């Protein structure tokens, strides 16, 4: 399987729909905000989180599947930075 297919397969249906809408609107966040009936800053945050998620999915620096999952949860806003750091620290200590 190609590298592209691997990270793309990890995206949620919501992520894929957002990317599709982004492409069809020629990258206009203002247009996406109108379509979804949300504010521009909310669209910007969604895009930033999606960018971070894709970076994590294609990163060679992630050392384990557990770390990858945690970082995706952080990128999606499901956990905060402090929680991410505490969990990664505990995991690394337990793995040593």
Mean pLDDT of the chain: 89
DSSP letter (8 states) at residue 65? H
pLDDT at 2 over 80: no
Domain count, the chain: 2
51 and 94 in a common domain: no
Distance CA 38, CA 35 (A): 8
Same domain, 83 and 47: no
Distances (CA, A) of 50 to 1, 34, 58, 64, 95: 22, 19, 12, 20, 29
- N- to C-terminal Cα distance for the chain? 32
Do both 47 and 7 map to the same domain?
yes
φ and ψ at residue 58, rounded to 5 degrees: -105, 5
- Same domain for 47 and 75? no
DSSP assignment string, 8-37 = HHTS-HHHHHHHHHHHHTTT-HHHHHHHHT
pTM score, whole prediction? 0.73
- Co-location of 6 and 31 in the same domain: yes
Highest mean pLDDT among 4-18, 26-40, 72-86: 26-40
69 and 92 inside one domain: yes
Which residue range forms the structural domain that includes residue 4? 1-58
**Which pLDDT tens digit goes with each residue over 35-74?**
999 999 999 999 998 998 888 888 888 888 898 889 888 8
Same domain, 42 and 73: no
């Amino acid at each position: 399987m190609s590298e592209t297919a691997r990270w793309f397969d990890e995206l949620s249906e919501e992520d894929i729909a957002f990317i599709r809408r982004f492409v069809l609107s020629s990258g206009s966040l203002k247009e996406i905000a109108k379509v979804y009936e949300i504010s521009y800053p909310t669209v910007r945050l969604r895009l930033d989180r999606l960018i971070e998620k894709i970076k994590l999915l294609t990163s060679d620096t992630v050392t384990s599947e557990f770390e990858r999952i945690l970082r995706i949860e952080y990128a999606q806003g499901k956990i905060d930075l402090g929680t991410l750091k505490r969990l990664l620290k505990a995991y690394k200590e337990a793995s040593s």
